[in-house]
Chain A
Amino acid sequence: MNSPSVPLSLRLDQCRKGACLRITELIPQPLFGAQDDRVALRLRELGFLPGTIVKVIGVGFLGRDPLAILVNGSKFALRRAEAAKIKGEIVPGLLSSHDPLASREPLVSPTAGEARQ
């Protein structure tokens, strides 16, 4: 089994450093209360749209928060609360080749490391 037949669906805040996620939808986040729609709108304006592939390029020290995310060539710092609004499927094998400090642990399947987009 080289790659899972059913794509792994998870939220961006559940991803490890180095993981790539193809966004499927933005889900509500009760922490933002009445502002939630505006946060979702801003995320979409910044390029976090269904179909877009984003990559976790850094995580903070305490509680692995915030996350640094690469989207369309721009980088953004997102707290876990914002990242939890973003749901998607892991894209296997999109680990960057030149990220010396990226997590060495397998993200999905140990053999899925070679294929590129």
Chain B
Amino acid sequence: MTLKEFILSRVQVFFVLVTLILLGSGILGGIYAPEQELHYYHLFSPIIIAGACILPTCVTYFKKEPTPLQYIIRQVIELILIELVVINLVSPPPEYNGSKIEFYISIGCMIFIIYMIIQVLSWLKKYKQAIKLTEQLKTFQTAE
């Protein structure tokens, strides 16, 4: 993957993240602080968090082809870095009465679920691409 392709893929991930963070915030906010009123500037939070989460994903850029193990290790490092960035960025709302640990565990789990959804979506996209390539291959083989 060239640097340009990598940057483009990061932009795609950024928009998926913004959507999923909005969704996750809505669900968690509804559970833990249903009375909380938001200001317009709060709408920037998903964008800021998604932007901050994109930075650690740079660890997955390889100039040379990685081995499957190297790839998996980088993915794990990426997830840990994202968890750390988000946990540092968010704090429990003032009206929140539960324990802080519980709050951060919920955030951690939410990030993990979002991360896994993105991985599944990426895999499905690749799977669809592989099916298309196989179809093109069959046409190519019978074209002679």
Say if A and B assemble together: no
